[in-house]
Structure 1
Amino acid sequence: MVRTGKTVSVMNAHGARKMAANPQYPVGSYQVTENKRLLPIPQREVNLDTLTQNEQ
C-alpha cells in the first residue's frame, strides 16, 4: 500500500467499516493521515547520533 500511495485511503475505508460494525469506538478512531505512517526513531539511535524524531 505504501508503494502504491494507497495507504491512507485504504486504511480509512477499513476504519469506516470497523466503526460502522462496532460504534463503541471513540470518535476519531481509525483516522489515518500521512504523518501517522511514520515510525519513531528508536531512542538508542537518537542518543547515539543526536538525531531528532520524525514530525508527528
Structure 2
Amino acid sequence: MTGTLSPWHALVVVMIFLLLFGSKHMPAAARSLDTSMRIFTPPQPSPDPLPSPSQTSAQ
C-alpha cells in the first residue's frame, strides 16, 4: 500500500454505503449533503454582469 486513495477505494466506500442504507435513502442523503455544503461553504461572488448594448454604444 502506498498510502494514497485510489478510485477503487471510493468505489468500495460507495458500495458499502449503498448496502448499508439502500437506494431508498439515497435521495434524502444527497439532499442533506447538499444542504450541509451550502451552509459550510462561503458564498461565491457573482461575476460582473455583461454590459447591455445601450451601455456599450454610449461609450
TM-score by length of 1: 0.34
**Which protein shows a greater Rg?**
2
Q: Higher helix share goes to which structure?
A: 2
1 or 2 for the larger relative contact order (CA 8 Å, sep ≥6)?
1
